[in-house]
Amino acid sequence: MSGRALLMWDDALTGYDFGDGHPMDPVRLELTMGLVRAYGLDRAVDVVAAKPAGDSTLRLVHREDYVAAVRAASADPGAADQAYGLGTMDDPAFAGMHEASALIAGQSVGAAEAVWRGEAAHAVNFAGGLHHAMPGSAAGFCIYNDASLAIARLLELGAERVAYVDVDVHHGDGVQAAFWEDPRVLTVSLHEHPRTLFPGTGWPEETGAEGPAEGGAVNVALPAGTGDAGWLRAFHAVVPELLADFRPQVLVTQHGADTHFEDPLAHLAVSLDAQRAAQAACHDLAHAYAGGRWIALGGGGYAVVDVVPRSWTHLVGIAAGVPVEPESVIPSSWRDEVYARTRQLAPGRMTDGRWPVSWRGWDEGYDPADRLDQAVLAARRAVFPLRGLLA
């Protein structure tokens, strides 16, 4: 297995562009890659571009009629079929949509292939993590579900156990749906409670299809306002024990940066420093339970200057084995780039001033009257007994 990590990147990934005023501004990808380069991380990884996902690959998850509908909308955006979730406010059709979406999917599939074959231990596709797309429809800014496609490709290559951990502020509903009946895949999602945020799913009672797959879906529905200590407490109260039990051959993680307190579309209060801590924890869990095989994806994140580039640059550094110090002063070259590109002032350091982040471990006890602890208890009680674990 190669010691160097892969960073999946093609400048054409910024072609995934829903247009002016849409929250999913591709400048977040451009600025992230710029910050990766400013720190020299592009020299610590192998930067590679995989080919776009072809139709046979897309059909591992998506229905043939849906792929055809995306192609048609891509060729003629004005004729997009809203029955497939295309041409809506969330997912406006744009020329070249199929090609841009297939390219993102191809990077995640390529990452999965490289990690499975031992060409790299870790691979990052921060343009990916489009976890809301369903087999037959677009949803939540997501056209093709690259995370599900990467997992499906791993299964096709012979993987028998794949774990997916999603720390985006929104429920990883599309990935859960894709593997609802498949006991080979464990999906774990920590997200803002469905009562207060799209997509309205991800209740703890959603545990997988009855039968062998029951207990294969895990949902930690966090109360709005959850901050660093509660978020990390919930993560460590659920994820490590499940991975220790499941023993995945590969760990796939989704790192939406929209849990941040500055994100305009959600209501958690997590800092960049806690996001970095969760990324480092995922890296360590991959080594503890998945033989070091780790595929890390991006996801949501709509504070496109202040948060997303810093969060995902930390992710690349951790995967590369050269983590960026939180107190690091951001290179002035990147800050100049940000101003030239957006006319916004860039942040000065790679921290929100909360490093190191601390939290209280679950083994220290819990408070049944605390809303965060209630969320953790609900998830553990719904799933742990199904897996033969103590709730």
Per residue in 109-159, pLDDT (tens digit) is 999 999 999 999 999 999 999 999 999 999 999 999 999 999 999 999 999
pLDDT above 90 coverage of the chain, percent:
99
Given the structure tokens 């051959």, which residue do they identify? 249
For the beta sheet containing 185-192, the strands, ordered from the edge strand earlier in sequence to the opposite edge, are 45-48, 5-8, 122-125, 294-297, 250-254, 162-166, 185-192, 217-222
Q: Give 37: exposed, middle or buried? Use CB within 10 Å, 0-12, 13-18, 19+.
A: middle
CA distances from 333 to 38, 217, 315, 327, 348 (A): 7, 44, 20, 17, 12
pLDDT, residue 279, reads 99
pLDDT at 3 over 80: no
pLDDT at 1 over 70: no
pLDDT, residue 368, reads 94
| Overall pTM > 0.95 | yes
pLDDT, residue 237, reads 98
Active-site residue list: 132
Question: What does the alpha-carbon distance between residue 272 and residue 277 come to, in Å, rounded to a whole number?
Answer: 9
Structure confidence by residue, pLDDT tens digits, 323-364 = 999 999 999 999 999 999 999 999 999 999 999 999 999 999
Structure confidence by residue, pLDDT tens digits, 203-256 = 999 999 999 999 999 999 999 999 999 999 999 999 999 999 999 999 999 999
Sequence letter at residue 88: T
pLDDT, residue 2, reads 64
Structure tokens given for 164:
């997916």
pLDDT above 70 coverage of the chain, percent:
99
Given the structure tokens 């406010």, which residue do they identify? 89
pLDDT, residue 376, reads 98
Comparing C-alpha atoms, which of 239, 274, 278 is closest to residue 260?
A: 274
Mean pLDDT score of the chain, rounded to an integer?
98
Question: DSSP code of 345?
Answer: P
Question: What does the alpha-carbon distance between residue 51 and residue 253 come to, in Å, rounded to a whole number?
Answer: 22
